[in-house]
Structure 1
Amino acid sequence: MPRLQVTRCSKEENSKPAASRSKSSPPSSGGSPPSSLAFPSNNLSPDGNRSLSSSGLQRTSLSGGVQNATLRCDLPSPAVAVRNLVEQAQHAHLCTLMSAMHHRRAGYPFGTVVEFAADGAGHPLFSLSPLAIHTRNIREDARCSLVLQLPGWTGLANARVTIFGDVYPLPSDMQEAAREIFHQKHASHAGDPAKKSSRWLSGNAQYFRMHHLRDIYFVGGFGTVQWVDAGEYAAATPDAIVLHGPTAVLRVLNERFAGALRGLFGARGGGADDAVVISIDKLGADVRVRRAGQHAVERLVFDQEVVTLEDAIDIMQRLTAHVEA
């Protein structure tokens, strides 16, 4: 029989939240953009497609510190969780510093919502109009922060991350590669690869990259706060299950197992009005459960690692086989 473990990681647990700061010092800052902005070697496959695609980790109300929560709930490490989150998120809040040259309120933070993708090393890429305020800000001061959360945000108990770094325009010979990365990510989320040839072709937008990652602040829910060293983030690899059409993976799982999941989590007591898989990683799935108008995120732990959609379907079938929808 497969091992079934449904773990509720909730803010009602009575352990104190803990925050830890990596002892590693942040990368040294530079006053000017590097002369070369070469993508990492694992960024593009031989046919020119990006070797990494998209997904992430979302969980709520984890108490006792991120390390304890990671062990208790069979979660990815914080660095991997952030890589997964970056791959899953479709939009982000880009925060720049208002430029004295172009704007009033010089020196104040300026936030705006942008589409983004990430290269093979997890560095965010942006398609920005030269007329946009944030683009003009970046050209005057490269320092930025990027705030990301997964689609389906339901409150402060959901995972989010803030990435601090320096953003520079990519050289002309790398603009096409960046556009292809955008196509791959957003066509995958839209579920329509045919749109790859038509998006981001018009206008005079230019591609930028957060080249220097200075620091990363990860919040996995109430009580799960972790500074992730940029070097640890760069060394981490997203789970394979999140790299190829993660939106389609979640859609298939929810279409096939909605009733079974509702029965599985409802059996814990109090019933369940709804149960939706909101993220998946190689160790398990996070399921948003609604009971009497209240939402909580609960962990469904797998009895083996999953790599592909087929693996996920197989294990979900086994874990819910005894449940009546």
Structure 2
Amino acid sequence: MNTSTGPGPAPDPAPGTGPDVAAAARRVMRATGRAALSTAQRDAAGWPYPSLVLAALDHDASPLLFLSDLADHTANIKMDPRVGLLFDGTAGLDEPLAGSRVSVLGRAERSDDPRHRVRFLARHESASLYAGFGDFAIYRIAVERAHLVAGFGRIRWIAGDDLLFRLPDIETLALRDADIVEHMNEDHADAVELYATVLLGREGGGWKLTGIDPDGCDLRLGGRTARMDFGRTVFDAEGARRELVDLVRRARRIRGETQA
């Protein structure tokens, strides 16, 4: 495990800080389409400045933000790129503090990679309304450390290298993302519908797949989004296909049982 120093306390050395903990943190982050962003206020002696932002995650789980140069948080980032992001997975819980949330510490870096822009707009279709404005740009967060709180007493620090996938490992899947999404939406719309309505318990018809990554896939219907996790991590199109097939089989089995 990476034990390099960085912002925040040292990683918790207790058992359970391995892949399972990192996967739990990524699940919270990938399921949350927004985050609280903290930057150092440039004209107020570095006081923390909190703001709300839309967030997407790249295939390696690096957070992606779409920020305007006119916003205070962007001006702050240009002076000091260190940021904090809070991904809150406690929505709808009677006891929010018993739920999961992830604090991410890292540095915001402007990205001109067109893949990052496509990834963000696929997650947040509404952002396409202002995507052509010249003051907006994608920022990728280079994660140094993350802090998972998964309920009372279940708290772990995670090194950035442990949280994120290595780009060489996921490049094959990232390059096939658009092809898989298009194929599922055009040729297997019934399967996508089963994912949303049977496995995730969402209402409505016409759900679409919007993205796929090693941990699962994203779905959307109008302004509503949903997240479906895979049973295992996948690194290529064939692995994703097996997971998608297994999930539709499970959905059909559940539907058959409920209709019996």
TM bin (shorter chain): 0.5 to 0.7
Once residues 250 and 149 of structure 1 are traced to their aligned partners in structure 2, the CA distance between those partners, rounded to angstroms, is 22
Counterpart-to-counterpart distance in 1, 2:139 and 2:21: 26
TM-score by length of 1: 0.51
* Percent of aligned pairs with the same amino acid: 25
Deviation at 1:150, TM superposition (A): 3.5
CA shift, 1:132, in A, is: 0.9
The aligned amino acid for 2:250 is: I
Radius of gyration: which is bigger? 1
Aligned to 1:227: 157
2:243 corresponds to 1:307: yes
The residue correspondences of 1:85-234 to structure 2 (distance < 5 A) are 85-99=28-42, 103-104=43-44, 106-150=45-89, 152-154=91-93, 155-170=96-111, 174=112, 176-187=114-125, 198=129, 200-211=131-142, 213-234=143-164
Unaligned runs of 5+ in 2: 8-13, 186-191, 204-225, 233-241
Determine the C-alpha separation between the residues in 1 that align with 2:80 and 2:47.
12
C-alpha change, 1:283 and 1:206, in structure 2 (3 Å) is closer
Q: Do residues 83 (structure 1) and 26 (structure 2) align?
A: yes
Q: Which amino acid aligns with 1:25?
A: S
TM-score (norm 2): 0.62
In the alignment, which residue of structure 1 is the partner of 2:239?
none
Kindly tell me the number of residue pairs found equivalent between the two proteins: 200
- 1:27–1:214: 8 Å Cα contact kept in structure 2? yes
Alpha-carbon spacing, 1:175–1:324, altered in 2? closer, same or farther (3 Å): closer
Alpha carbons of structure 1 residues 324 and 283: separation in structure 2 relative to 1, 3 Å: same
Residues 116 and 255 of structure 1: CA distance in aligned 2, closer, same or farther (over 3 Å): closer
**Equivalent-residue separation in structure 2 for 1:138 and 1:219 (angstroms):** 26
Q: Secondary structure at the match of 1:235?
A: coil
8 Å CA contact 1:97–1:108 kept in 2: the answer is: yes
1:88 positional shift? 1.8
SS of the equivalent of 2:97 reads coil
CA gap of 1:110–1:66, structure 2 versus 1, over 3 A, is: farther
Aligned AA (1:146): L
Q: For structure 1, list consecutive stretches of 5 or more residues without a partner in the other structure.
A: 1-21, 29-64, 71-75, 188-194, 257-277, 285-305
CA–CA distance in structure 1, aligned partners of residues 20 and 196 of structure 2: 21
Going from structure 1 to structure 2, the CA distance change for 1:223 and 1:132 (only over 3 Å counts) comes to: same
Quote the offset at 1:82 in angstroms: 1.9
Q: Which position in structure 2 is the counterpart of 1:24?
A: 3
Task: Between the two structures, name the one with larger relative contact order (CA 8 Å, sep ≥ 6).
Answer: 1
Contact 2:56–2:120 (8 Å) recurs in 1: yes
In terms of fraction of residues, the more helix-rich structure is: 2
Which whole-Å CA distance do the structure 2 matches of 1:23 and 1:122 have between them? 17
SS at match of 1:222: coil
* Closer/same/farther in 2, CA of residues 255 and 210 from structure 1, 3 Å limit: closer
Deviations 1:83-117 (A, max 9, x none): 23222210001101111xxx33x221111010122
Cα distance, 1:234 vs structure 2 = 1.9
Change (3 A) 1:175 1:322: closer
**1:323: Cα distance to partner?**
6.4
Partner Cα separation in structure 2 for residue 133 and residue 314 of structure 1: 48
RMSD of equivalent CA atoms: 3.8
CA separation of 1:281 and 1:198: change in aligned 2, threshold 3 A: same
